[in-house]
Amino acid sequence: MEIEWTEPALNDMEEIRDYISRDSKFYAKRLIDNIFSSIEKLSDFPEIGRYVPEIKDKNIREIFFYPYRIIYRIEDEYVLILSVIHGARDLSKGH
């Protein structure tokens, strides 16, 4: 399956990179590269992630790259990356 990205998910990645870059550009690049590598696994194993507990939709799943939650939706032809958020964020509160 192909991997596609929403604009908000790409913005999430930029914000993560920018935040980590304040302390270390090296570690920011390394973290982003590792997140992308984790996401690439979804092209072969899209159902590897668990269902998102706050969302009652079997096609919306998440994988973790500590401390981040990578939320995606399985479509017929591709996996759509919806968001990359900090694991402490509670989606049920709508923030």
User: What residue segments make up the domains of the chain, in order of their start?
Assistant: 2-88
* 8 A C-beta contact, residue 31 and residue 20: yes
Query: Which ranges constitute the DSSP H helices of the chain?
Result: 7-21, 25-40
The structure's pTM equals 0.89
pLDDT in tens, 26-78: 999 999 999 999 999 999 999 999 999 888 899 999 999 989 999 999 999 99
Residues 6+ apart with CB under 8 A from 39: 3, 63, 70, 72, 81
Question: Residue 45 — φ and ψ, nearest 5°?
Answer: -135, 70
Domain 2-88 CATH superfamily: RelE-like (3.30.2310.20)
pLDDT in tens, 13-28: 999 999 999 999 999 9
Q: SS3 of 60, please?
A: strand
